[in-house]
Amino acid sequence: MTGARFKRVRLRRPDLRIPFPRRFAARLTGETVVSVTRRAKYLVAELSSGETLLMHLGMSGWFRVDRSAGGRATAPPGLHDHVVFEMSTGAVVTFNDPRRFGFIDLLTPRQLTAHPALSTLGPEPLSKEFDASSLAMACRGKKTSLKAALLDQRVVAGLGNIYVSEALYRAGLSPLRPASTIATSSGKPRQAAHRLATAIKDVLIEAIERERNPSYRAGRFRVYDRENEPCRTRGCGGRIRRRTQGARSTFYCPSCQR
C-alpha cells in the first residue's frame, strides 16, 4: 500500500469493534499512503493528508491482497469481508475478520497524539529502550502478578496471552509472583528482571523467525496449551499446569518457575 492511492473504499459492515468515523470512505479516497508501520499490535498507515489510518487485527482479522485484480474487486466479497480498499496500483486489499474484534479507524493528527491506548504504550520489546532496567522500573511497586503486568501494554507493548506464558517459562519465573519482586524498592533490576527481559526478546525473535520459516512449525510452544503434558526442561519431570489469571488461561511449570 505504501505509495499507493485509495481509489475506492467500501465498507461492508459498520459494526466492527469501534464504529467507523464519520465520512471514513470520503476522507480516505484520493489520499496516498506515505508509510505503513507497526506499533505494538496496531498497524499504522500515514496518509498524505496528515491523517492516520489505524488498524488492528483483533483476534481473527487479516488482510487479503489481490495484486492482479486490475484495481477492481473482481470476485464478490466473501463472508466477513468488512472493508475493501481498491488501490491506484491495481491491488485490492480486503480486511476480513470473522470475530470482529479488530477495527479500522481514521485519526486526525490531534486524535493520534491523544489516543488513549497508543499514547500510553510501553516500549517495543525488541527495541533498545526495552531492557531489564525499563522493565524493572515499570514493575516497581506493582501489586499485581507478573502475568498481569506483562499483559499490560503500558509495561511492554505487544505481548499477548500466549507469549507472556512462554516468556515467563523461559525466564524461570512464576506467573503468580508479584511483579514488584523483579525490582528493588528503588526500581533497580534484580536478576529476575534481566532474565525476563532477555526471555521476552528471545521468545519473540524465535516466533518471528518461525513465521518466516514454515519448515519449523512443530512444537512451537513450550507451555501454552500444554496442560498436563511433561515439562521440557531437562531433568524437571514436572507437568505443565494451567490456571486462570485475570479471566485468562496461564500455563506454567510449577517446579521450574519460581
- Report in angstroms how near the CB of residue 39 gets to DNA at its nearest: 10
Residue closer to DNA by CB (options 21, 98) is 98
- Are the CB atoms for 16 and 104 separated by under 8 Å? yes
Determine the Cα angle at 28 with ends 26 and 32, to 5°: 140
203: left (phi over 0), alpha (psi -120 to 50) or beta: alpha
User: Least distance (Å) from DNA to the CB of residue 91?
Assistant: 26
**Which of 116/214 has CB closer to DNA?**
116
Least distance (Å) from DNA to the CB of residue 127?
Answer: 17
CB of 3 to DNA, least distance (A): 27
66's grid cell? 489481490
Residue 3 or 229 having the CB closest to DNA: 229
**Residue nearer to DNA on the CB measure, 49 or 153:** 153
153 or 233: whose CB is closer to DNA?
153
CB of 208 to DNA, least distance (A): 15
Nearer to DNA, 59 or 75 (CB): 59
Chain residues in the site for DNA (CB under 7 A): 15, 17, 40-42, 56, 58-60, 79-80, 98-101, 116-117, 141-145, 148, 151, 153, 160-162, 224-225, 245-249
Torsion, CA 211, CA 18, CA 7, CA 96, rounded to 10: 40
In this structure, what C-alpha cell is assigned to residue 143? Answer: 501489586
What is the DSSP annotation of 108-154? Answer: -HHHHHT-TTGGG----TTSTT-SHHHHHHHHTT--SBHHHHHH-TT
Contact between 159 and 136 under an 8 Å Cβ cutoff? The reply is: no
The answer to whether the Cα torsion of 16, 17, 21, 24 is positive or negative is negative
> Residue 142 corresponds to which cell in the numbers above?
506493582
Considering the complex, what minimum distance in angstroms separates the CB of residue 107 from DNA?
12
Which of the 8 DSSP states describes residue 32?
A: B
